[in-house]
Structure 1
Amino acid sequence: MRDGDITAIAKWLVGQGLAGATETDLVTGFCARCVEGGLAVSRGLVLIDTLHPVYEGRAFNWHDAGGEFTEHFYGRSDIGEAAQDWLRSAWYHIVETGCGDVRRRFFRGDPCDFNRLQGYCDEGHRDYFAIVTPYSQEDAFGLMDCVYSHWMTREPEGFSDADIAALRRLVPILALAVKGPSLARIARTLVEVYLGRDAGARVLSGRISRGVADEIDAVLWFSDLRGYTAISDTAPPGEIIPLLNDYAEAAISAIDAAGGDVLKLIGDGILAIFKADDRAEACRCALAAEADLRARLTELNARRAAEGRPATTLYLGLHVGAVFYGNIGADSRLDFTVVGPAVNEVSRIAALCRSADRGVLLSSAFQAAVPEDERAHIVSVGRYALRGVGRAQELFTLDETA
């Protein structure tokens, strides 16, 4: 590969990185341009760790069978078979020895002493080059402290010295370009996981100034666990976090599936909203989430009972009203949430589930906004005074026999 080709590829990578190209576009474009420039790459794989509650990182895999490309998330590499694969990999050897890169010339009879090398050799690849491109410790983000990559060729005499020199020059530029979209994806993941989808999108759009809030109409959901205090007092300490996670997973999954946004996890409590541009539709969505949650709890409780673990259910309050939705707090610590009298009311309604001996309580405003065809199974439970609310109001519940 000539210097002019290397310079052109480097310039392209920088331009694409500045333009916000995806990792997929960067890797596929890089491989195609290497081939066009005379560096006969037959296969390229780029791995970059991430910061995600489920996945450890993402892999981008290109090979010369029609420019075929795949990308996927990968899970933890420190347990099970994945851990053994990692310990047998060329990248682990590079990290442990600090050698920077590793080459195996299959055409010369070099050993296939790292994981999967024999398979690559059997596929007809003649030369293998693996490299680890580190970021500085100050720039590391969670596990994302480097880019792992490997490159192969089917050329009978393998990579030339000039090819290897070109890869050593270009791969760090590719790693830097890939870092941009990977960091953007981490930012989106973090705000969605910790703030919720809608609140996260608003924060990333630039709504981060204290006091910036919109008045919106919303269905408000507040739920907490029935008998949580008694369970936490009697259950083994190691059971408490798994119990909270199991029931939060059921509730959050049901809310998400119905189009709601979870804003807060408060101990065993969950505050969520269904934005109500159309109140009737938002109420319908909240009721769909409640029905979905009941089905999930039935399955969850059967499983936990079979395992001999504590099981319970949720109290749920539903209300609809105007709230302020935005940033509240100090300049150095903000919370994107909802505030207003309606938020206080829904928490009080949920708290009344205990004394009313009902799993679900609906406000009169919610009942009035429910579509007519959904009201057949909504029944009154009488008037109640809500603590901290100036007037008593009629509350409703769901009659599942209707």
Structure 2
Amino acid sequence: MNALQNIDPAAALPGSDVLHWLTNDTRDQRFIDNIFAEMCIRLQQAGIPVKRATLHLLIHHPQWLGARIMWADGMHEAEIARVDYDVRGRSEYIGSPANEMYDGATEVHENLERDPSLGRKHAVYDEMRAKGLTDYVAWPLHHTLGKRHMVTFATDRPGGFEDAHVAGLLKLLPVLALVSEIRMKNRLARTLLETYVGTHAGELILAGATRRGSGTTVRAAILICDLRDFTRISDNWPRDDVIDLLNDYFDAMSEPIVRHGGEILKFIGDGLLAIFPLSQPSACANLLRAVSEARQAMAVLNENNSVTGRAPLHYGIGAHVGDVMYGNIGSRTRLDFTVIGPAVNMASRLETLTKQLGRTVLLSRAFADLVKNDFELERVGEHPVRGFNEPVELFAYHG
């Protein structure tokens, strides 16, 4: 018999006002961690002696399996901790309430006042006892399509939760599941867009910029980077090694770009396209600062690869500045949010010329004029550029 069956149906459950608030008054709150913290505070005010609570969500972010939202008495905001993909092989997970829950348990209820030798064995229970907690309960939180998450509550009340307290908490679960799923899917949509099209483009798409052909003209510094000899590498290396190599290479290149205000619009095989909008202060200088840091990161990567007998990686970068069309381009059913225009073509041609001219980074005269007072550049003369009528004066950057 569960806690709900033990309660007089005519009696008002503690937490009924919290249920009404959760159902009707959270529509304007964007973040589930804020809702969860306020819910716990309201539960206390309603007479349910919650001292600690956690919400565990499997989010399948590109870098993390999930997140744990934790609230404790006295906190006005919840703490969010990321959960790594390899957590299920670690002692903190094995035998834990989360382990039981994701293995199919419908409830984990542990009396923390009894002799520890008679109860469940895991460090999390010892930690809660050490903090004076007396009772702990965890339940699955069901989202649509069989997605299963977890919520937990603990108290320091002598004797633990009463049946009415547990029943009041159980009543909240279906609404908490709906409220958390909406916020989680909103966050997931934003995360996926940031991951696949970039932060700025993702914001524009979420704001409604989804019509094919829609876009705007942006003046930007354009960076195109390409890995050398990738065909040979992909033909001769094991598949998993090639994937690891590309990921390491893109980390070395991408992190400095993002750190200095650039936006990576796409990865093209072993290359990438990024822009630094000139609406940002010092966009061209920031592009070169990102290039400098990327070169340092690539040097470290090559040094690490040499330990395992791998040949060093070489690459070329072309940079230009100009107006680009920034928006939705593609078929009726598959769009790409990207930039096009002669300025993009110029950056691509400069990257190609790095092979012929034996330089790692080539800049157009238009780009060089905007940074020549702050960076040391090497003039490499005028050169014909495929697709353009006039030769282009080029500069190399060795920073």
* TM-score normalised per structure 1: 0.89
What residue in structure 1 maps to residue 286 of structure 2? 285
1:2-401 pair list within 5 angstroms: 3=12, 5-64=14-73, 69-77=78-86, 79-81=88-90, 84-96=91-103, 98-107=104-113, 111-115=118-122, 116-137=124-145, 145-277=147-279, 281-374=282-375, 377-398=376-397
Letter of the aligned partner of 2:230 in structure 1? Answer: Y
Q: Is the contact made by 2:256 and 2:293 (CA closer than 8 Å) also made in structure 1?
A: yes
In structure 2, the CA distance between the partners of 1:328 and 1:67, relative to structure 1 (3 Å rule), is closer
Pairwise CA distance, 1:397: 1.0
Letter of the aligned partner of 1:335 in structure 2? Answer: D
SS at match of 2:379: strand
Pairwise CA distance, 1:23: 2.0
Return the alpha-carbon distance in structure 2 between the equivalents of residues 193 and 95 of structure 1: 27
Pairwise CA distance, 1:211: 0.7
SS at match of 1:3: coil
Letter of the aligned partner of 1:179 in structure 2? Answer: E
Letter of the aligned partner of 2:81 in structure 1? Answer: H
Deviates more, 1:28-37 or 1:389-398: 389-398
Pairwise CA distance, 1:50: 0.9
Letter of the aligned partner of 1:89 in structure 2? Answer: S
Pairwise CA distance, 1:38: 1.3
Return the alpha-carbon distance in structure 2 between the equivalents of residues 399 and 93 of structure 1: 56
| Structure ranking higher in helix proportion | 1
Return the alpha-carbon distance in structure 1 between the equivalents of residues 197 and 132 of structure 2: 49
Pairwise CA distance, 1:9: 0.5
Pairwise CA distance, 1:379: 2.4
Q: Is the contact made by 1:284 and 1:371 (CA closer than 8 Å) also made in structure 2?
A: no
Q: Is the contact made by 2:88 and 2:94 (CA closer than 8 Å) also made in structure 1?
A: no
In structure 2, the CA distance between the partners of 1:308 and 1:117, relative to structure 1 (3 Å rule), is same
Return the alpha-carbon distance in structure 2 between the equivalents of residues 290 and 350 of structure 1: 13
Pairwise CA distance, 1:276: 1.4
Pairwise CA distance, 1:17: 3.1
Deviations 1:331-376 (A, max 9, x none): 31110000111111211111111111111111122122325333xx
Q: Is the contact made by 2:221 and 2:319 (CA closer than 8 Å) also made in structure 1?
A: yes
Return the alpha-carbon distance in structure 2 between the equivalents of residues 17 and 146 of structure 1: 22
Unaligned runs of 5+ in 2: 1-6
SS at match of 1:320: strand
Return the alpha-carbon distance in structure 2 between the equivalents of residues 250 and 99 of structure 1: 43
Deviations 1:81-101 (A, max 9, x none): 1xx4333123433443x4521
Q: Is the contact made by 1:77 and 1:86 (CA closer than 8 Å) also made in structure 2?
A: no
Return the alpha-carbon distance in structure 1 between the equivalents of residues 378 and 242 of structure 2: 35
Q: Is the contact made by 1:17 and 1:178 (CA closer than 8 Å) also made in structure 2?
A: no
In structure 2, the CA distance between the partners of 1:179 and 1:136, relative to structure 1 (3 Å rule), is closer
Deviations 1:254-290 (A, max 9, x none): 1111111111100111111010137x82211111111
Q: Is the contact made by 1:45 and 1:62 (CA closer than 8 Å) also made in structure 2?
A: yes
Return the alpha-carbon distance in structure 1 between the equivalents of residues 93 and 138 of structure 2: 14
SS at match of 1:52: coil
Q: Once superposed, what is the RMSD of the aligned Cα atoms?
A: 2.3
Return the alpha-carbon distance in structure 2 between the equivalents of residues 80 and 51 of structure 1: 17
Q: Is the contact made by 1:196 and 1:263 (CA closer than 8 Å) also made in structure 2?
A: yes
Letter of the aligned partner of 1:344 in structure 2? Answer: N
Return the alpha-carbon distance in structure 2 between the equivalents of residues 351 and 210 of structure 1: 30
Pairwise CA distance, 1:22: 2.0
SS at match of 2:174: helix
SS at match of 1:349: helix
Deviates more, 1:179-188 or 1:261-270: 179-188
How many residue pairs get matched? 388
Q: Is the contact made by 1:219 and 1:320 (CA closer than 8 Å) also made in structure 2?
A: yes
SS at match of 2:79: strand
Q: Is the contact made by 1:261 and 1:273 (CA closer than 8 Å) also made in structure 2?
A: yes
Return the alpha-carbon distance in structure 2 between the equivalents of residues 132 and 73 of structure 1: 19
In structure 2, the CA distance between the partners of 1:301 and 1:16, relative to structure 1 (3 Å rule), is farther
Return the alpha-carbon distance in structure 2 between the equivalents of residues 24 and 45 of structure 1: 10
Pairwise CA distance, 1:194: 0.6
In structure 2, the CA distance between the partners of 1:226 and 1:14, relative to structure 1 (3 Å rule), is same
Q: Is the contact made by 1:222 and 1:317 (CA closer than 8 Å) also made in structure 2?
A: yes
